[in-house]
Amino acid sequence: MLLHFTKMHGLGNDFMVVDLVTQRARIEAEEIRRLADRRFGIGFDQLLVVEPPRDPDMDFRYRIYNADGSEVENCGNGARCFARFVRDKRLTHKRQIRVETAGGPLVLDVHDDEQVSVDMGAPRFAPPSLPFEADEDRLRHTLEVDGETLEIAVASMGNPHAVIKVDSVDQAPVERLGPLVEHHPRFPKRVNVGFMQVVSSHEIRLRVFERGSGETLACGTGACAAVACGIRQGLLESPVTVHLPGGSLTIRWEGGERPLIMTGPAERVFDGRIPLR
Ligand SMILES: N[C@H](CCC[C@H](N)C(=O)O)C(=O)O
């Protein structure tokens, strides 16, 4: 069977996007790993799948798979590409699109300048995937990693994130610490690992070693989690510009249970077809 797809990216975090509303296919984890390979396959950080909604109040179901084949709860850069894709493919004409994900509902707003804002819901600081106390004075936690004691903050945007404050993202030991923290036993579902440098109260630099994909040029949920932790610790104030290796996002969050809003670009690179095994 030939599977039609579109290659897209959000600040260099790249995706294979597949419409399973007008196509029918089952893409197994092994096939995802093959397709994700940057030499033997198409190459991507995540596979994004568009399906009909299960909840009648939603427009689509948005499913996300990492390059290692694992299905996950959310992908922020992917959400912006999802919005552009469903409109480009005429699956909807709406400018405000409601999608259901494994991590909860998202609302996508496509602006005239083709930037997309995503209501990511409220950050969570002590969900089951992040078993750490999160009362008011527990804003940071220690983690023993490879003989050293790390100070981390944790937040979930549907998917789990650990945030490590560093003096310089350029000097941060992302390649060494990223995998060690991702697979640390304290994280029952593994974890995405953000390295955050505070530039000012409205600006950070960030690198993210992503669960299931490794370091990416940008991570939308990682940017949201870093800003949420920074605001909660009094280091940051909304709005915050997040500079990632692939470009910048704007994150707004007024705290508490109010939703966190992420705004940024979404680009289409090419359309293709690939035989599925
Ligand atoms: N690696 C993430 C999923 C993709 C998140 C990222 N690409 C984004 O833009 O939010 C996880 O395992 O939770």
Please give the full DSSP string across 113-153, using - where no structure is assigned: TS-EEEE----BSS-TTS-S--STT---EEEEETTEEEEEE
List the residue whose alpha carbon is closest to atom 5 of ligand 1.
Answer: 75
ipTM over 0.90: yes
Catalytic sites, residue numbers: 75, 219
Which pLDDT tens digits describe the chain residue by residue (277 residues)?
A: 899 999 999 999 999 999 999 999 999 999 999 999 999 999 999 999 999 999 999 999 999 999 999 999 999 999 999 999 999 999 999 999 999 999 999 999 999 998 999 999 999 999 988 989 888 788 999 999 999 999 999 999 999 999 999 999 999 999 999 999 999 999 999 999 999 999 999 999 999 999 999 999 999 999 999 999 999 999 999 999 999 999 999 999 999 999 999 999 999 999 999 999 8
Mutate which of 15, 44, 72 for ligand 1 pocket (most atoms within 8 A of beta carbon)? 72
CA–CA separation, 263 vs 29, rounded Å? Answer: 30
Give residues (CB < 6 A) around ligand 1. 13, 45-46, 64, 66, 72, 75-78, 159, 192, 210-213, 216, 219-221
Is 189 in contact with 212 (CB distance < 8 Å)?
no
Which ligand 1 atom sits closest to the C-alpha of 70? 12
**Where is the binding site for substrate, in residues?**
13, 46, 66, 76-77, 159, 192, 210-211, 220-221
Check residue 136 and give its pLDDT.
78
Q: Which atom of ligand 1 is nearest to the CA of 213?
A: 1
**Residue 101: its pLDDT value, please?**
98
Q: Look at residue 138 in the predicted model and tell me its pLDDT.
A: 87
Q: What is the structure's pLDDT at 133? A: 86
Give the angle subtended at the CA of 260 by the CAs of 107 and 138, to the nearest 5°: 140
Report the Cα 129 to chain-centroid distance in Å: 16
46 CA to centre of ligand 1 in angstroms = 8
pLDDT at 87: 98
Helix, strand, coil content of the chain in percent (nearest 5): 15, 40, 40
Using the mean position of ligand 1's atoms as its centre, give its distance from the Cα of residue 74 in Å: 6
In order of their start, the domains of the chain are 2-119 (3.10.310.10), 127-264 (3.10.310.10)
> For ligand 1, atom 3, which residue shows the shortest CA distance?
75
Q: Over the stretch 225-245, which tens digit does the pLDDT of each residue have?
A: 999 999 999 999 999 999 999
